[in-house]
A and B are shown apart, each in its own frame.
Chain A
């Protein structure tokens, strides 16, 4: 089932859906195409952006850890992981580019009229720096200048960690439910979990299709994924317990949207079961001889998307004005993503796989182990 060809066909279909989303957005406009409101202005695109950026961050961290600490399991595939990290970062830019009304203005005014107080300005700046470092690292790896690539990798990791922790801070300054010092490290663990899951899937595909022996790397990826899920489980459990037991009303209500409110299925089935319990169960039974780790990774990635979605939406479902509290039946605002919003994320997934497939061919990396 997980052959490269099958994945490529599916990816082209996904990319086609993504193109429909772009046409829909440009033709009808964002107000018509997206189910966003005055009260819930951030939706599926923001969740998707964080999702792709986290994958990119995680892959870069794993690859660079391999470089810096000479861990053979990760180092031997670092070039593939860096390439995939670049591609997922561009998928994130695609998603956020569709969300923003004027993405070009961001580039212009972030330079000529910057606000250094704004976490979003820092996000744009740090991710731009990160993109340049990633591309440069990949270039020097391609040129076999490993020492230079290693130095860039180290700087890249620093920029990457700061950028992703800043993404956590971006949320935490805005709404009560998102606030908390734990959010930046939570984002870093999410990134490692995402990177490990994507790494297991892609390395298994590369091993099968390109006939490379990557057993030790996949095994390391499996272990890293299991550890990251375990840490994430502890993070989420402590977050939910502290929010639901002893927090301010807005934080309590934010947690309740997930525990027992409109996001309960997203949380218990998507985030807890698909994102944590099922992958951990499958990983415990996985071995070098079976493909259970791939299924575990797919489930974990699906669950992690719910995790991002729940995080972004739960923070906004609690109305900031009392008026809404009187008008609402169950005390929460509602949000259901539109076709265009969902299709943009699906398109991003398709783009990622197609771009990787052809980039691997273009850079003649199919049979390459660094």
Chain B
């Protein structure tokens, strides 16, 4: 172990019941404007499966996947989008020219033009909170513990355990982006 962290999030979609507390917490924590175009995370609503009364529906929380091989980092002409020392994909607002190439390249629709910063914005895994030893706002607020956050390089971390003990998948593996959000 060289002490380098690889932060990741494990999302258990079976636990999500679409309360959207994570989306509210994110907006409040990060000052994201109240607009249907501006959000750092979301909950996708799946199709209704079955016939009444035997029906079910799946909800899939989503956000920036903080990819190891992030397409947004590759295409940014001014290195405004970069991976920091913790592996968080972040935007340097001072360098962003709003060419929106990163929005085009992102396979997850995780980016938007912020009316607050007037640059492209996205989830930071709440880097400011993680730096203080806290969890991202969406993880902390989730009432059903759908989201688990931690260091994959630490074998004792909760995320490492969940991935060892469960089958998991990532979204759009065919893009080669190597996302760091895992779904169980």
Interface size (B, Cβ < 8 Å)?
A: 37
CB–CB B75/A173 < 8 A: yes
A110 in contact (CB, < 8 A) = yes
Chain A neighbourhood of B115, CB < 8 A: 31
Asked if B97 contacts A102 (CB within 8 A), the reply is yes
Closest beta carbon of chain A to B110's beta carbon, Å: 9
A116 → chain B, closest Cβ, in Å? 10
Residues of B near A102 (CB, < 8 A) are: 96-98
**B interface secondary structure, majority:** loop
Cβ-defined contact, A103 with B75, below 8 A: no
CA distance A114 to B106 in the complex (A): 20
**Contacts known (A117-B74, A173-B75, A322-B44); A41 close to B104, Cβ less than 8 A:** yes
**Interface-lining segment among A77-85, A118-126, A221-229, A338-346:** A118-126
Chain A 297-323 near chain B by CB (<8 Å), digits 1 or 0: 000000000000000000010011111
CA distance A123 to B111 in the complex (A): 23
Using known A-B contacts A38-B109, A101-B97, A321-B62, determine if residue A118 contacts B76 with beta carbons closer than 8 Å.
Answer: yes
Q: Is the CB of A101 within 8 A of B118?
A: yes
Q: Which stretch (B2-10, B77-85, B143-151, B152-160) binds chain A? A: B77-85
A323 to B59, CA, bound (A): 10
Tell me the complex Cα distance, A289–B38, Å: 59
- Note all chain B residues with C-beta closer than 8 A to A31: 113, 115
Alpha-carbon distance between A101 and B79 when the two chains are bound, in angstroms: 16
Residue B99 CB within 8 A of the other chain: yes
Q: Is the CB of A118 within 8 A of B97?
A: no
On chain A, the residues within 8 Å of B118 by CB distance are 101
| Number of A-B contacts defined by CB within 8 Å | 105
**A320 & B101 in contact (Cβ 8 Å cutoff):** no
Asked if A115 and B76 make an inter-chain contact with CB atoms under 8 angstroms apart, the answer reads yes
List B86-118 residues whose CB lies under 8 Å from chain A.
94-101, 103-109, 111-113, 115, 118
| B109 engages A320 (CB within 8 Å) | yes
Interface residues on A, range: 35 or more
1/0 per residue, CB under 8 A from A, across B116-127: the answer is 001100000000
Once the chains bind, are A323 and B78 in contact (CB under 8 Å)?
no
Rounded to whole angstroms, the CA-CA distance of A120 and B109 in the bound complex is 20
Contacting pair A113 B95 (CB below 8 A): yes
Measured CA separation A316–B107 after assembly (Å): 11
Q: Which of A39, A103, A323 contacts B42 (CB 8 A)?
A: A323
Q: Which single member of B44, B80, B98, B105 contacts A100 (CB below 8 Å)?
A: B98
Inter-chain contact A105/B78, CB cutoff 8 Å: yes
B126 to chain A, nearest CB (A): 21
Q: B56 within 8 Å of A by Cβ?
A: no
B30 within 8 A of A: no
B47 part of interface (Cβ distance < 8 Å): yes
Most chain B C-beta atoms within 10 Å of own C-beta, residue among A38, A39, A113: A38
Complex: A119 Cα to B75 Cα, angstroms: 7
Give bound CA distance, A323 to B77, whole Å: 30
Q: Mark A140-177, 1 if CB is under 8 A from B, else 0.
A: 00000000000000000000000000000010011100
Contact B98 A124 (CB under 8 A): no
The distance in angstroms between the C-alpha atoms of A315 and B101, with both chains bound, is: 13
State A110–B77 Cα separation when bound (angstroms). Answer: 7
Give 17 pairs: A residue, B residue, CB < 8 Å, sorted on A: A41-B100, A106-B77, A109-B77, A109-B80, A114-B78, A115-B79, A118-B74, A118-B75, A120-B76, A121-B78, A174-B101, A316-B104, A320-B107, A321-B108, A322-B46, A323-B44, A323-B45
**Interface residues, chain A, with chain B CB atoms under 8 Å away:** 30-31, 37-39, 41-42, 100-103, 105-106, 109-110, 113-115, 117-121, 123-124, 170, 173-175, 316, 319-323, 326
9 pairs of A and B residues whose beta carbons are closest in the complex = A101-B98, A109-B78, A41-B100, A121-B77, A120-B77, A323-B44, A41-B103, A118-B77, A106-B97
